[in-house]
Amino acid sequence: MADRFDVRRQTGFASMAMLCFFLLYLPIATLVVYAFNDNESLAIWKGFSLRWFHAAWNNSLVIESSIRSFEIAAIAAILATISATMAALATTRTKPYRGLTFKYAFINQPLMVPEIVTAVALLIVFSRIKIWTGYSGLGYLILAHTAFCVPFAYLPIRARLESMDLSLETAAADLYATKWQTFRHVTLPLLWPGILAGLMLAFVVSLDDVVITEFVKSGGQDTLPTFMLGQIRRGVTPEINAISTVFLALSIGIVTAFFFISRKRT
Amino acid sequence: MTAIRPAVEAKGVSRIFQGAGQDAVRALDSVSVSIRENEFFTLLGPSGCGKTTLLRLIAGFDYPTDGEILLHGQDIAPLPPFKRPVNTVFQSYALFPHMTVAENIGFGLKMLGKPKAEIAARVDAMLKLVHMQEQRNRRTSQISGGQQQRVALARALAPQPKVLLLDEPLSALDYKLRKEMQIELKRLQHETGITFIFVTHDQEEALTMSDRIAVMSSGNILQVGTPWDVYDRPAERFVADFIGETNFLTGTIESAGNGHARIVLSSGARVYAAAAKDFQPGSTATLMVRPEHAKLVKGAGDLAGTIETIVYFGTDTHIHVRLDGGEAFIVRQQNSRCASCGFERGDKVGISIGDEVAQLLKD
User: What value of ipTM does the predicted structure carry?
Assistant: 0.80
Record: contact B82-A177, CB cut-off 8 A: yes
Record: contact B107-A178, CB cut-off 8 A: no
What is the distance in angstroms between the Cα of B146 and the nearest Cα belonging to chain A? 19
CATH class of this structure's domain B245-361: mainly beta
Instruction: Please say if the pLDDT value at position A1 is more than 70.
Output: no
Q: Which residues of A touch B (CB under 8 A)?
A: 165, 167-168, 170-178, 181, 185-186, 189-190
C-alpha dist (Å) from residue B361 to B235, B278, B284: 6, 11, 11
Query: What one-letter code names the amino acid at B32?
Result: S
Of residues B94, B97, B159, nearest to A176 (C-beta): B159
Q: What confidence score (pLDDT) does residue B1 get?
A: 40
CA distance A153 to A64: 27
Record: contact A171-B90, CB cut-off 8 A: yes
Residues 6+ apart with CB under 8 A from A107: A87, A91, A150, A151, A154
Report chain A residues whose CB lies below 8 A from the CB of B82. Answer: 173-178
Report chain B residues whose CB lies below 8 A from the CB of A167. Answer: 90, 92, 94
Instruction: Please say if the pLDDT value at position A261 is more than 80.
Output: no
Report chain B residues whose CB lies below 8 A from the CB of A190. Answer: 97-98
Three-state DSSP class for residue B357: coil
Q: What is the pLDDT tens value at each position of chain B, 363 positions in all?
A: 445 678 999 999 999 988 766 678 888 999 999 999 999 999 999 988 999 999 999 999 999 999 999 999 889 988 999 999 999 999 999 999 999 999 999 999 999 999 999 999 999 999 988 888 899 999 998 898 889 999 999 999 999 999 999 999 888 888 888 888 888 889 889 888 899 999 999 998 999 999 999 999 999 999 999 999 999 888 888 999 999 889 998 888 888 777 788 888 877 778 888 887 777 788 888 888 999 888 888 877 788 888 998 888 888 888 999 988 788 889 988 887 665 567 888 888 888 887 778 888 876
**Residue A143 CA to chain centroid, in angstroms?**
15
Which of B82, B98, B359 minimizes the C-alpha distance to A164?
Answer: B98
Of residues A167, A168, A174, nearest to B87 (C-beta): A174
Q: What confidence score (pLDDT) does residue A262 get?
A: 67
Report strand pairing: B284-289 vs B247-257.
antiparallel
Q: What confidence score (pLDDT) does residue B349 get?
A: 86
C-alpha dist (Å) from residue A58 to A51, A226, A244, B337: 10, 19, 16, 101
Record: contact B82-A189, CB cut-off 8 A: no
Q: What confidence score (pLDDT) does residue B32 get?
A: 92
Record: contact A171-B88, CB cut-off 8 A: yes
Report chain A residues whose CB lies below 8 A from the CB of B111. Answer: 172, 175-178, 181, 185
What is the distance in angstroms between the Cα of B94 and the nearest Cα belonging to chain A? 5
Q: What confidence score (pLDDT) does residue B2 get?
A: 47
C-alpha dist (Å) from residue A78 to A70, A74, A143, A199, B11: 12, 6, 11, 7, 51
Parse chain A into domains and list their residue ranges. 60-265
Report chain B residues whose CB lies below 8 A from the CB of A177. Answer: 82, 107, 111
Residue B146 belongs to what H/E stretch?
helix B145-157
Q: Angle at CA A136, nearest 5°, toward A134 and A142?
A: 135
Question: How many CB pairs (< 8 A) connect A and B?
Answer: 60
CA distance B209 to B230: 14
Q: What confidence score (pLDDT) does residue B164 get?
A: 94
Residues A37-74: pLDDT tens digits?
888 877 788 888 888 899 889 988 889 999 999 999 99
- Residue A37 DSSP code: B
Record: contact A168-B94, CB cut-off 8 A: yes
- The domain made up of A60-265 has a fold known as MetI-like fold (1.10.3720)
Q: What confidence score (pLDDT) does residue A150 get?
A: 93
Record: contact B92-A190, CB cut-off 8 A: no
Report chain B residues whose CB lies below 8 A from the CB of A171. Answer: 88, 90, 94-96
Instruction: Please say if the pLDDT value at position A136 is more than 90.
Output: no
Report chain A residues whose CB lies below 8 A from the CB of B81. Answer: 170, 173-174
CA distance B166 to B86: 11
CA distance A258 to A8: 31
Report chain A residues whose CB lies below 8 A from the CB of B100. Answer: none
Report strand pairing: B212-217 vs B40-44.
parallel
In A36-99, where does DSSP find H-type helix?
51-58, 60-92
A146, A83 contact by CB (below 8 A): yes
Substitution target from B79, B90, B197 for chain A, most A beta carbons within 10 A: B90
Residues A28-39: pLDDT tens digits?
998 899 888 888
Q: Is the alpha carbon torsion for B105, B106, B112, B117 positive or negative?
A: positive
Which of B258, B221, B265 minimizes the C-alpha distance to B239?
Answer: B221
Parse chain B into domains and list their residue ranges. 8-237, 245-361
Residue by residue, DSSP assigns B295-316 as: EEESS--SEEEEEEEEEE-SSE
- Residue A178 DSSP code: -
Record: contact A174-B155, CB cut-off 8 A: no
Record: contact B111-A176, CB cut-off 8 A: yes
CA distance B148 to A171: 14
CA distance B112 to B84: 12
Record: contact B94-A171, CB cut-off 8 A: yes
Is domain B8-237 given the CATH code 3.40.50.300 in the classification? yes
**Edge-to-edge, what's the strand order for the sheet holding B40-44?**
B86-89, B163-167, B195-200, B40-44, B212-217, B220-225
CA distance A195 to A168: 19
